[in-house]
Amino acid sequence: MATVYIPTSLRRLTQGSARLASDAADVGALLGWLDEAFPGLGAELFDADGNLHRFVNVYVNNRAIDELQGFETILEREDEVAVIPAISGGQTNGASPASGRFTPQQAVRYSRHIILPEIGGVGQRKLLNAKVVLIGAGGLGSPAALYLAAAGVGTLGVVDFDDVDLSNLHRQIIHGHANVGRPKVESARDRLADINPDTTVVPHTEALTSENAMQILDQYDIVVNGSDNFATRYLVNDAAYLLNKPLVDGAIFRFDGQATVFMPGQGCYRCIFPSPPPPGAVPSCAEAGVLGVLPGMIGVIQATETIKLILGLGHPLVGRWLLYDSLEMEFREIKLQRDPECPLCGDNPTIRALIDYEVFCGAPMAATGG
């Protein structure tokens, strides 16, 4: 016969009883019994889908059921169960992002997410547990990183070897004037820390190369591509595919943007462009210019798709290539498909490991992001 401790705030629903006895076999059965025996109590404990509210913690002998077997935690005689609504003063201090419950501050910070039935506490937890790597802290990486951190993505890797330049600031909005000359990765880390202390920024202050790409990307769940040259784009494409990671791709040029999501096995960058342009055929942003606000649009689409992938929400931008023309203010969609002849993800692949991308493209990996 286990005992349930009822906190002050809920005793109005248990006729004032602080302790109740139950012969339930496990925690789930005990909570079910509370729900049936005390009208109104269920609504305090569960949401419409029958999940525990994010702000309710359940303990057995002072251990959170998340650390035990959850609802299947077996109850023995003498066990004491406590049902503690966190916001009214439960044991919330010290809850880490990885544990099952939100701190009071998190419950407020993410409240507009949590009240969305499509996200809820469960979805917000997924965001906090997610690990995303941004290739480049430039035009695309800036808005993507800002929104991913604000959304509560728990780990953001940032790969960029470059320093902040004054000419970056008209579009690379993660960096400020005071950071000109500093490494972009450090500038980004400071800005992201201010936006959301829940986000851990992992700095990779180095160029992405065939030597380090597999090891870096392997630490993350999703790759967001904001690189600024063809060699790095093929490298990121190949590494993400070989590691079986989703690649949220974006690219910009002057007034136009492109975005898509490559899911391994459903087509890749090489399926669209089997080979890169010869060096000099397509000028860089530095040579041709770029509308400063353009990467905002594409980078935020990349952040949106990343969040959707983490949450398993909606229809991802897979098999679809979204083209944005800022001058016409027009979005168009092109169908993408896996090319059976693709040397990477086709039926008879010839690329099974990373290659030398500077040789492949005939051009150096000038910079990583923007």
By CB under 8 A, name the binding residues for other proteins.
135-136, 138-141, 225-230, 233, 250-256, 258, 272-277, 281-282, 284-285, 288, 290, 295, 321, 323, 325, 327-328, 332-337, 339, 369-370
Closest CA to 336 of 265, 284, 285: 265
**Least distance from other proteins to the Cβ atom of residue 200, Å:** 23
Tokens representing residue 311 in the block: 């949450």
Counting Cβ atoms within 10 Å, is residue 211 exposed (0-12), middle (13-18) or buried (19+)?
exposed
What one-letter code names the amino acid at 346?
G
Q: Which is nearer to other proteins, 98 or 281 (CB)?
A: 281
Please list the helix, strand and coil fractions of the chain in percent, rounded to the nearest 5, in that order.
35, 20, 45
Q: Which is nearer to other proteins, 101 or 175 (CB)?
A: 175
Q: Which is nearer to other proteins, 107 or 272 (CB)?
A: 272
**Least distance from other proteins to the Cβ atom of residue 331, Å:** 13
**Least distance from other proteins to the Cβ atom of residue 264, Å:** 20
Q: Which is nearer to other proteins, 71 or 253 (CB)?
A: 253
Q: Which is nearer to other proteins, 186 or 228 (CB)?
A: 228
**Least distance from other proteins to the Cβ atom of residue 253, Å:** 4
- State how far the Cα of 154 lies from the Cα of 102, in Å rounded to an integer: 13
- Residue-wise DSSP of 200-260: EEEEE-S---TTTHHHHHTT-SEEEE---SHHHHHHHHHHHHHTT--EEEEEEEBTEEEEE
- State how far the Cα of 253 lies from the Cα of 231, in Å rounded to an integer: 16
Residue 286 vs residues 155, 165, 246, 283, 370: alpha-carbon distances, Å: 31, 12, 29, 8, 9
Q: Which is nearer to other proteins, 56 or 188 (CB)?
A: 188
- State how far the Cα of 306 lies from the Cα of 133, in Å rounded to an integer: 10
**Least distance from other proteins to the Cβ atom of residue 231, Å:** 9
Counting Cβ atoms within 10 Å, is residue 7 exposed (0-12), middle (13-18) or buried (19+)?
middle
**Least distance from other proteins to the Cβ atom of residue 83, Å:** 50
**Least distance from other proteins to the Cβ atom of residue 258, Å:** 6
Q: Which is nearer to other proteins, 244 or 275 (CB)?
A: 275
Establish how many alpha carbons lie within 13 A of residue 316's alpha carbon, considering only the half-sphere containing its beta carbon: 23
**Least distance from other proteins to the Cβ atom of residue 156, Å:** 16
- State how far the Cα of 192 lies from the Cα of 203, in Å rounded to an integer: 12
Q: Which is nearer to other proteins, 65 or 248 (CB)?
A: 248
Q: Is 248 within 8 Å of 222 (Cβ atoms)? A: yes
**Least distance from other proteins to the Cβ atom of residue 359, Å:** 17
Residue reference for tokens 């906090």: 128
Q: Which is nearer to other proteins, 89 or 340 (CB)?
A: 340
